[in-house]
Structure formats: structure tokens, C-alpha cells
Homo-oligomer: A and B are copies of this chain.
Amino acid sequence: MTKEEIRVITLSKLQLEEDSVILDVGAGTGSISIECALLARNGKVYAVEVVEEGVELLNKNMEKFQVTNILPIQGMAPEAFEGIDKVDRIIIGGSRGNIGEILQWADEHLNPKGIVVANFITIENLYTFLQALKEKDYEYECTQVTIAKSRIVKDITMMQGLNPVFVVNAWKAENFNKISSK
């Protein structure tokens, strides 16, 4: 499950609106999908996950958080996208190597002012995504997030390192005057 800090930074980069239509690729157990659904309460989330247990947990989480605007889809990207028309946001959490195909699909299905946000823990997948963005004329910002958490033993605060994560947010430059990092 995506760590709290990475999740909220990912959500912030998405710049969701109340009626955003969101595609969450590699949704896992839905920790990000649920928060998207709550924020885009008049919108919709397509949550694509290949692992069956993930989809089951997502269904349970939807009930638990009383969220109805998520459509879980079990399957692989991009085949699983069939039937999805237009989306405003794409989240890539676990692409398993078909990043290029996802961006290819985005060419026809991402709205002009749409935003793509992806998380990476490997250099190779990060690079592949950045190259695909450049080829398709996206602009992007890459944020590496390194978190250390306290472990408190007898009133002493030891800091423990977590694995760093790269968060990339991308947009079609031609469709924006200027997006500046806040």
C-alpha cells in the first residue's frame, strides 16, 4: 500500500477538481482511488488492477468508506481501458512495463488540460517514463521524496529511513499558459 506521505503528494500533484474523471492504473487495494473518489465527488474513478485480491480489497474499501463513484476493473493496462472514453487525470502506480502504451492511449483519451502523475522506485522505469513523456511532448516535474520516520524507544527518537520514491507529474505544455510548482 502506498505510504501516507507519497499518497498525499501524489494527490496534490493531481490537482483534482470536483468533477474530475480519473484513471488509476495499478490501483492496488485502492488507497489512492478512494481518496480521489472522495475529492472528486461529482467525478468518477476507473480503478484498474491486475491482481484479483487487490480488486476484492478495493470493493471492501469502497463499502467501508461509503464511496460509490469508483469503477473497479480487473485487468492489464492498456487492454483493461477498453470502453473508457475520456479522462481528466491518469495515475500510474504500478505499470509493469507498459508505460509507453499507457501514454499512447492517453494521446486519444486524456483531455487537453489533463494531468498524469506516476510513482517510481526504480531508475529504469523512471527513465522510461521520462523518455516517453518527452517523445509525446509532455512537460513534467520530477520530485524525489525521501522520508525518515521516528522509532521511539524509551523517550529517545531514532530516525529510520524509508525507500525514496520518485513522483512525476506531467501535462501537455501547449494546453497550459504556465503551470508553476506552488
One digit per residue, 1 when the CB lies within 8 angstroms of any chain B CB and 0 when it does not, for chain A 136-151 equals 0000111111111110
Is there contact, CB below 8 Å, between B143 and A163?
no
How many angstroms from the CA of A149 to the CA of B144 in the assembled complex?
6
What is the oligomeric copy number?
4
Segment touching B, from A20-28, A61-69, A120-128: A120-128
Q: What sequence of 0s and 1s flags, for each residue 157-174 of chain A, a beta carbon within 8 Å of any chain B beta carbon? A: 111111110000000000
Task: Determine how close the nearest CB of chain B comes to the CB of A163; give it in whole angstroms.
Answer: 5
Residue in B closest to A1 when the chains form the complex, CB atoms: B182
Looking at the complex, which of A4-12, A47-55, A71-79, A101-109 is the stretch in contact with chain B? A4-12
Contact B161 A161 (CB under 8 A): yes
| Bound-state Cα–Cα, A147 to B145, Å | 5
Closest to A155 in B: B134
Given A144-B148, A147-B145, A149-B181, CB of A123 within 8 Å of CB of B4: no
Query: In the complex, which residues of chain B have a beta carbon less than 8 angstroms from the beta carbon of A149?
Result: 141-144, 181
Q: Which of B3, B127, B142 contacts A127 (CB 8 A)?
A: B127
- Indicate which residue in B146, B147, B156 contacts A122 across the interface (CB closer than 8 Å): B156
Q: What are 23 A-B residue pairs whose CB atoms fall within 8 Å in the complex? A: A3-B182, A4-B9, A4-B181, A4-B182, A8-B8, A121-B158, A122-B158, A123-B126, A123-B127, A123-B130, A124-B127, A124-B156, A124-B157, A142-B149, A142-B157, A143-B147, A144-B159, A144-B164, A146-B147, A146-B148, A158-B163, A159-B163, A159-B164
What would 4 more interface pairs be, CB under 8 Å, given A144-B148, A159-B163?
A: A121-B158, A123-B127, A123-B157, A160-B163
